[in-house]
């Protein structure tokens, strides 16, 4: 869209109105807008190049993508540092930094260069071809997470080329290992190199703008995430011949325990994010939906229970957002059909709400199972740390809300992710982290076009709008301001 088009004039008008809000800082001068036609062409060039690198994890080989980013950034005169474990140099992290005047703490833009595996036989367009077809770009990583990688790259290029004066340093971290080997990425960076990425705010994956029927409905910004843990149930009993059933059969005890866990729903646990999420969602929903959303946060026990039952049946993701979730996903037991095994195991996928007492959780599950023949314990699965408090009244969140309104003209829903991201490691350090993403069609996931799918794709127009959206946020938070 050209700068002189009606759409651009309307965006500028909204930006002017927002700038007149008393709480908004005063700019030293009206910023010069990027040449978006040129930016879009370059964005697509870099995006396709990054998609064509097979950075599947496992086995993990982010080096080609890291080398590409390093080359592009250094060509523009932007300092770049490569950090990797000495034993795994093929899995590097890329850090680039533009210096500000230091009047504010830095802004970190983070994205991961690795992607999940593919089954090439199931892809219509080759997974690493970055095929453009019908206004879409197809490829593994198109929406997880090379859209954020290219957006972060473009932020650095635009800030540098336009010589934007900065109140705070802007740091770009292209990390390795998010999809399955955090030891080479975020754990390495937070444990051994945190001063290089320490910031007041972080922008990363975890949110997105939702389109329904091609129209933007709302923007979801991840401000919290649940904490994944594995819990293992181990049932024991006497072994024996299968022709002689035994009351102490370990498989029977395990089956009963799993059934009880499956029927158990932990209590609703609300926080600032989930309260705001359902309150705001109610404003853009049908009357029946709005009633459920408001009832479930009402504090009225009867209304909350009835609404929760409806959400569990009709909107399970929303039900999961309300509580610590427990899902039995793996059962193992026996090795011959005519042998009663002495042991059987089940693995539970547990996603705890921030602040959950782990000892109390184990005690509650033991109470629910109520069987001394079944041991309940955390498994050895690696866990992300408990997350800190994310503020909804911060300068960072307000900048995101303003950008959502300018670019998408939609309401912003702060959300607690039911899954996990690497922002948990940064939040543990006290960083204010916000997950953002491009506009995606809600219909795409069920059709097999979403993240981790066999036809992962993104609309070209929404990739470009996401870059403009992120520029709006970064420019707002980092550009130097005149002291009133």
Tens digits of residue pLDDT in 34-53: 999 999 999 999 999 999 99
Look at residue 325 and tell me whether its pLDDT is greater than 60. Answer: yes
Q: What is the mean pLDDT of residues 278-303?
A: 98
- Give residue 31's pLDDT: 67
- Give residue 380's pLDDT: 74
What are 292's strand-pairing partners? none
Extended strands (E) in 113-226: 131-133, 136-138, 170-175, 201-204, 208-212, 215-225
- Give residue 10's pLDDT: 39
Q: What single DSSP character describes residue 410?
A: -
- Give residue 26's pLDDT: 39
Q: How many other CB atoms are found less than 10 A from the CB of residue 11? A: 19
Look at residue 29 and tell me whether its pLDDT is greater than 80. Answer: no
- Give residue 20's pLDDT: 36
For residue 188, report the phi and psi dihedrals to the nearest 5 degrees: -60, -45
Q: What is the mean pLDDT of residues 150-157?
A: 98
Contact 91, 186 (CB under 8 A): no
Task: State the pLDDT confidence band at 391, using cuts at 50, 70 and 90.
Answer: confident
3 state SS of 212: strand
In tens, the pLDDT along 96-108 reads 999 999 999 999 9
3 state SS of 382: coil
Q: Enter the pTM of the model.
A: 0.89
With CA atoms as reference, report the closest residue to 53 among 136, 127, 123.
127
- Give residue 109's pLDDT: 98
Interior angle at CA 352, CA 348 and CA 353, nearest 5: 160
Q: What single DSSP character describes residue 32?
A: P
Task: State the pLDDT confidence band at 1, using cuts at 50, 70 and 90.
Answer: very low
In tens, the pLDDT along 259-274 reads 999 999 999 999 999 9
Task: State the pLDDT confidence band at 482, using cuts at 50, 70 and 90.
Answer: low
- The percent of residues in the chain predicted with pLDDT above 90, rounded, is 88
Look at residue 90 and tell me whether its pLDDT is greater than 70. Answer: yes
Taking the chain, what is the end-to-end CA distance rounded to the nearest angstrom?
34
For residue 303, report the phi and psi dihedrals to the nearest 5 degrees: -65, -40
Task: State the pLDDT confidence band at 382, using cuts at 50, 70 and 90.
Answer: low
* Listed range (4-13, 203-212, 332-341) with the worst mean pLDDT: 4-13
With CA atoms as reference, report the closest residue to 189 among 354, 431, 381, 416.
431
With CA atoms as reference, report the closest residue to 105 among 24, 203, 198, 191.
198
Q: What is the mean pLDDT of residues 413-436?
A: 94
Q: What is the mean pLDDT of residues 176-205?
A: 97
Interior angle at CA 337, CA 335 and CA 339, nearest 5: 70
Give the tokens for residue 185: 């990425």
Cα–Cα dist 251/212, whole Å: 45
For residues 310, 313, 317, 319, the Cα torsion angle rounded to the nearest 10 degrees is 40
Q: How many other CB atoms are found less than 10 A from the CB of residue 72? A: 20
Look at residue 410 and tell me whether its pLDDT is greater than 80. Answer: yes
Contact 328, 350 (CB under 8 A): no
Q: Which long-range contacts (CB under 8 A, 24 or more apart) does 302-311 make?
A: 304/268, 308/265, 308/268
Look at residue 18 and tell me whether its pLDDT is greater than 60. Answer: no
Q: Which residue has the tokens 């307000």?
A: 398
Cα–Cα dist 289/305, whole Å: 15
- Give residue 19's pLDDT: 39
Preceding amide of 59 cis, omega within 30: yes
Mean pLDDT of the chain: 92
In tens, the pLDDT along 246-258 reads 999 999 999 999 9
Give the tokens for residue 429: 């350090």
Cα–Cα dist 268/457, whole Å: 35
- Give residue 32's pLDDT: 75
For residues 406, 409, 414, 417, the Cα torsion angle rounded to the nearest 10 degrees is -100
Cα–Cα dist 391/408, whole Å: 22
- Give residue 381's pLDDT: 63
Look at residue 143 and tell me whether its pLDDT is greater than 90. Answer: yes
Cα–Cα dist 484/475, whole Å: 19
- Give residue 471's pLDDT: 98
Q: Which residue has the tokens 């005149």?
A: 482
């Amino acid at each position: 869209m050209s700068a002189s088009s009606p759409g651009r004039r309307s965006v500028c008008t909204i930006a002017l109105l927002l700038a007149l809000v008393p709480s908004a800082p005063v700019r030293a001068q009206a910023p010069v807008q990027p040449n978006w036609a040129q930016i879009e062409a370059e964005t697509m060039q870099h995006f396709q190049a990054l998609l064509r690198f097979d950075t599947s994890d496992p086995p993990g080989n982010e080096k080609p993508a890291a080398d590409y980013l390093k080359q592009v950034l250094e060509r523009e005169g932007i300092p770049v540092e490569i950090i990797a474990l000495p034993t795994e140099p093929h899995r590097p992290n890329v850090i680039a930094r533009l210096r500000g005047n230091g009047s504010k703490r830095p802004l970190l833009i983070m994205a991961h260069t690795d992607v999940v595996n593919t089954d090439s036989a199931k892809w219509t367009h080759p997974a690493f071809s970055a095929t453009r077809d019908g206004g879409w770009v197809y490829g593994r990583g198109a929406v997880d997470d090379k859209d954020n990688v290219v957006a972060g790259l473009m932020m650095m290029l635009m800030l540098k080329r336009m010589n934007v004066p900065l109140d705070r340093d802007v740091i770009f971290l292209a990390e390795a290992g998010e999809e399955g080997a955090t030891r080479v990425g975020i754990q390495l960076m937070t444990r051994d190199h945190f001063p290089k990425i320490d910031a007041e705010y972080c922008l990363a994956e975890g949110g997105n703008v939702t389109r329904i029927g091609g129209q933007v409905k709302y923007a979801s910004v991840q401000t919290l995430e649940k904490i994944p843990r594995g819990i293992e149930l181990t049932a024991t009993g006497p072994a024996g011949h299968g022709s002689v059933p035994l009351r102490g059969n370990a498989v029977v005890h395990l089956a009963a325990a799993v059934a009880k866990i499956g029927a158990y729903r932990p209590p609703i646990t609300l926080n600032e994010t989930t309260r705001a999420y359902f309150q705001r969602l109610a404003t853009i929903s049908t009357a029946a939906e709005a009633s459920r959303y408001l009832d479930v946060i009402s504090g009225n026990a009867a209304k909350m229970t009835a609404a929760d039952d409806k959400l569990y049946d009709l909107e399970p993701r929303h039900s999961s957002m309300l509580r610590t979730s427990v899902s039995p996903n793996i059962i193992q037991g026996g090795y011959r059909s005519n042998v009663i095994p002495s042991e059987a195991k089940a693995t539970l996928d547990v996603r705890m709400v921030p602040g959950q007492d782990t000892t109390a959780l184990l005690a509650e599950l033991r109470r629910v199972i109520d069987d001394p023949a079944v041991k309940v314990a955390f498994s050895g699965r690696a866990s992300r740390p408990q997350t800190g408090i994310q503020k909804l009244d911060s300068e960072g969140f307000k900048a995101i809300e303003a950008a959502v309104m300018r670019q998408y003209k939609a309401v912003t829903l702060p959300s607690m992710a039911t899954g996990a991201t690497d922002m948990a490691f940064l939040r543990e350090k006290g960083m204010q982290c916000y997950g953002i993403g491009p506009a995606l069609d809600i219909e795409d996931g069920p059709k097999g076009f979403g993240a981790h799918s066999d036809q992962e794709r993104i609309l070209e127009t929404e990739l470009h709008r996401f870059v403009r959206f992120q520029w709006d946020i970064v420019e707002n938070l980092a550009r130097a301001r005149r002291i009133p």
